Amino acid sequence: MLKTFIPQFMMTFFICLFILMMQFLFKHINDLVGKGLDFDVLGELFFYAALTTVPLALPLAILLASLMTFGNLGEHVELTAMKASGISLTRAMKPLIILVSAISVGAFFFQNDVLPQTQVKMWQLLFSARQKSLTLDIMEGAINSQIPGYNVYVKKKNKETDMLYNIMLYDVSSGLSYPRIVAADSGKLSMTSDQMHLVLELYRGNWYEDVKQGGNSQFGKDMYRRESFHDKEILIPYDATFSKIDDEGLKSQYIGKNYTELKHSIDSLQLRIDSAGNVLASEMRRMPVMGVPSNRTEARDGKFVNVPVKPVQMKAPINIDSLFDAMSVTDRANNSSRAAMIAVSAQQELNFKSFMPEEDGKVLRRHQIELQKKFTLSLACLIFFFIGAPLGAIIRKGGLGTPVVVSVILFIIYYMIDNSGYKLARDGHWPVWQGIWLSSAVLLPLGIFLTYKAVNDSAVFNPDTYRNFIRRLFGAHQTRSLTIKEVIIDELDRATAIAHIENVKARCNEFLQAYPSRQSFLDYFKSGFDKQRLRTLSSTIDDTVEYLSNSREKIVLNKAMDYPVVRQLLTYHITNYPKLGMALAVLLPLSIPIYIIGTRHQHNLRNDVSTAIKVSDELIELLNKGQ
């Protein structure tokens, strides 16, 4: 089992890692293209990015590998051979359970020790790449604005000598009001050795510049300057080097902390939020109510102290509306405006004071999410194994066809649920533990269900099972199929066959006598048709047909196929408890439609029973003629 599983796990893991790396590349392609980054920098960035995608690739690889492993065993009948030799599915899964458990433990330590460091390194390189200037690539016949503060137009470019012709340079580094314009017949652009400046060598051109002058001189406030030159060098600041930003700020974020550091940060943030909330609540309690302050300042022993104001005891409550109605129209408007201003001012003040606790709450939730995610990866690996292994044993399809489709569908469902729970927890709509563990709580019952079904060889994906259930639910008719047997062990005895058929007739007549007509509304919900009587009638007819299938006469077989199949529909008998049936009849909104459909199915059953009596008479006649 290990020799089969481990190569497939390694293959699927690197395939999933490659796909997720392509997603990372497409997401950040604009931050990397055109920056002239060295291959060692790109390799380092991709290495750290690959490590950060492990939490997504690992569960998917386990799911796909377990599906392929047990799918191949089931497709090649090896699982059947194991079970025939006394090896159960759980015993066959045991070495892989131990391996996946070890992988889950290792995933926790990876999440706790390795992932924070790799995330810091990856974001450090990515932020550094974003800040790096673009590699210069002067295009012909277009305005190039890659140099900060300069726009360069080149009509023609010689790609072999890198010479530029018909150059127009717009220098707006000092502002748009006083630009410098340089026009040259030709030129060449190069970089200094320290890659901190650009050198623009220009030949045969003119320099135009508006010079700003202060005061009221005789030349006026503004002056115009023009210069013609044969050759000129312009030094332009341009940092083309790649330097890493300081990673201390990233290490202090939630992405760069392990379990112990996260716990410490959560406790500190929670204490700060509680303290800020207590201060804010105290200030709110001290705010005046209806113009009456909650405390006042008094001088005692040469010191000013705050003394709480005792509440005013009134003999009767004041009718505020009567006081307001007694005011003039102007006073009402003034007091209403003043009250609105006071309320808006108090609301704005409280919103401003609650801004920091809200921001701390967002940071606290991010730390709590990162803490919970240390454990979710380990559980996800176990859950996906207990989904993939039994599912592969059930569908019995190996290779990269069906397992890949099933794995992708399950992983998309997992990713959607996990992402939804993460956003609900991040935004504070749900408690953090509920949002982060939502995907595990949804998929864990599925893993338990599939494992139970696979161990008990249940036909979960057998279409006939669901087809028969739908037929039972909607009352669809079923037909019998009999063929002449090449070898008959138990030859048909006509007298015994007639006795079987007479027994069928007796059972059918008893049923029709017990239920001669449509049941009333209350009788239908209280009792319905007797399930035991239906099972007895169905088994009697089936046993008779089974015995008649030993006949060598085709006409007898054809007539035996006319026996109807007595089904055990849900609509024949709603419940075994009369009181519950009465409650459903009274309280259930769909009780009338259920009664109409159910009595219709009962009517069809009585017709089938009548048909069985008719077929029995015809069979007795055929058997008597054959004698």
Residue-wise pLDDT for 214-263, tens only, equals: 445 454 456 677 888 888 888 877 665 556 666 677 777 878 888 888 89
What radius of gyration, in Å, describes the C-alpha atoms of the chain? 43
What integer pLDDT is reported at residue 7 of this predicted model? Answer: 92
Q: How many H-runs (helices) and E-runs (strands) does the chain carry?
A: 22, 8
Q: Which long-range contacts (CB under 8 A, 24 or more apart) does 445-449 make?
A: 446/387, 447/383, 447/384, 447/386, 447/387, 447/390, 448/386
CA distance 605 to 616: 16
Which residues are CB-contacts of 410 (< 8 A; sequence separation ≥ 6)? 63, 384, 387, 443
Concatenating the DSSP letter of every residue in 463-507 gives HHHHHHHHHHHHT----------SS-SS---HHHHHHHHHHHHHH
The whole-angstrom separation of Cα 479 and Cα 139 is 78
Cα 390 to Cα 89: distance, rounded to the nearest angstrom: 9
Could you give the 3-state DSSP secondary structure of residue 157?
strand
Quote the CA–CA distance of 291 and 294 in Å, as a whole number. 10
Q: Confirm if 435 and 445 have CB atoms less than 8 A apart.
A: no
Residue-wise over 554-569: b if at least 16 C-beta within 10 A, else e? eebbebbbebbebbeb
**pLDDT score of 179:** 74
Residue whose C-alpha is closest to residue 403's, from 21, 79, 8, 53: 8
Here the tokens at position 103 are 């992988």
| Per-residue pLDDT, 215 | 47
- At residue 168, the pLDDT reads 87
Which stretch of DSSP H or E encloses residue 43? Answer: helix 39-52
Name 190's bridge partners. 199
Q: What is the pLDDT of residue 36?
A: 64
Q: Residue 62 belongs to what H/E stretch?
A: helix 54-75
Binned average pLDDT, 10 residues per bin, the chain of 627 residues: 91 90 83 70 87 90 89 83 84 91 92 89 79 62 76 83 84 69 86 75 84 52 76 76 66 83 88 80 72 72 74 76 84 88 83 77 88 90 90 77 80 88 89 90 90 76 60 62 76 85 90 88 84 88 87 85 83 79 74 84 88 89 76
How many other CB atoms are found less than 10 A from the CB of residue 481? 6
Asked if 123 contacts 249 with a C-beta cutoff of 8 angstroms, the reply is no
Place of tokens 């009595």: 599
Question: Strand locations in 131-221, DSSP E?
Answer: 142-144, 150-158, 163-171, 180-191, 197-212
- The confidence score (pLDDT) of residue 498 equals 87
**Single pTM value for the model:** 0.60
Give SS3 for 53. Answer: coil
Q: Which of 71-93 are b and which e, b meaning 16 or more Cβ less than 10 Å from the residue's Cβ?
A: bbbbbeeebeeeeeeeeebeebb
Give the separation between CA 560 and CA 619, rounded to whole angstroms: 8
Distance linking the first and last C-alpha atoms of the chain: 64
**Residue spans of alpha helices (H) in 515-590:** 521-526, 531-548, 554-560, 578-587
418 contacts 438 by C-beta, under 8 angstroms: yes
- HSE (side-chain half, CA atoms, 13 Å) at 170: 13
